[in-house]
Amino acid sequence: MASETVTSTGYIKHHLQNMTFGKHPDGHWGLAHSVNEAKEMGFWAIHVDTMFWSILLGVLFLWLFRKAAKQATSGQPSGVLNFAEWIVEFIDSSVRGSFTSKNNLVAPLALTVFVWVFLMNFMDLVPVDWLPSLAGWVGASMFGADPHHVYFRVVSTTDPNATIGMSLAVFGLMLFYSIKIKGIGGFTAELTMHPFHSHNKLVQLIFIPINFFLEFVSLIAKPISLALRLFGNMYAGEMIFILIALMFSASMTMQALGGVLQLGWAIFHILIITLQAFIFMTLTIVYMDMAHSEH
């Protein structure tokens, strides 16, 4: 999108708005053409761009690793197979170091989380105007839409709906295995008998609501922190790229400075997108280990 045709504030808002599909106040279903329309659609609206890119990158992950698995031989690996084996060995060592129980689901889960989150984060390195401009051109040429009303965000992890959804999936698995391994009684005891404990039954009864409050807050904080940590870091990175892009609509000096800053931030951002994928994966392993640990 040509940033000079809109104000800086409008440019930023446009790049931070998702393509939203939902029910309009008059009852018909369709895409939102403004921020206000997206808000009016309410809770059940769908962010089409987030769904599109997250599913597409998930399918890409499955295709790449399936291709590598079909090429697996006893000889010297090369190309995609070599890369896939390196990733699998890295994940395997991480699981062995953090997961003390035995569950054949944990390693594939960790692999999926790491690669999927990394791919979604990696989209932040695509110049911020390329894909939104392409979406605007497609909307204008094929559907007669105003390009400024075609919203298209490409980094799914900058959408809290995506990060919260992933964290809730991990949280659900954590609860499932906590109850499966420890039973309802054991899981309930973890929430009510720690951290304060007394051999006096009357005192212990007094401790139960206090323990439950502390443990429940700690339990709920896990998916919230898991989701918001990833969202916050990626959202901040996306915002910096957008602010740098604004410099290209200014003087030649600012454009040159913007080019240097964009390259520098992109190189540094490679570390951030990898680190955030690693942290999300590591915490997933740790939470699963906690679910399998009996106190």
The answer to whether the beta carbons of residues 14 and 27 sit under 8 Å apart is: no
With residue 46 as reference, give the H or E element that holds it.
strand 46-47
Of residues 8, 93, 141, 225, which has the active-site annotation?
Answer: 225
Catalytic annotation on 161?
A: no
pLDDT of residue 2: 40
DSSP designation for 72: -
From the list 123, 122, 112, the residue with the least C-alpha distance to 280 is 112
Task: List the domain boundaries for the chain.
Answer: 3-292
pLDDT of residue 197: 86
Catalytic annotation on 229?
A: yes
Of residues 121, 229, 249, 293, which has the active-site annotation?
Answer: 229
H helical segments located in the chain: 8-15, 35-40, 48-71, 79-98, 106-122, 130-143, 160-192, 201-246, 252-292
pLDDT of residue 144: 76
H helical segments located in 72-200: 79-98, 106-122, 130-143, 160-192
Residue 48's Cβ-side half-sphere holds a number of Cα atoms within 13 Å equal to 12
Tens-binned pLDDT, residue by residue, of the chain (295 aa) = 443 456 888 899 999 999 999 999 899 999 998 889 999 999 999 999 999 999 999 999 999 999 888 887 766 666 778 888 899 999 999 999 999 999 999 999 999 999 999 999 999 999 999 999 999 899 888 877 788 889 999 999 999 999 999 999 999 999 999 999 999 999 999 999 988 888 888 988 999 999 999 999 999 999 999 999 999 999 999 999 999 999 998 889 999 999 999 999 999 999 999 999 999 999 999 999 999 987 6
pTM: 0.92
The answer to whether the beta carbons of residues 194 and 215 sit under 8 Å apart is: yes
Of residues 3, 54, 121, 233, which has the active-site annotation?
Answer: 233
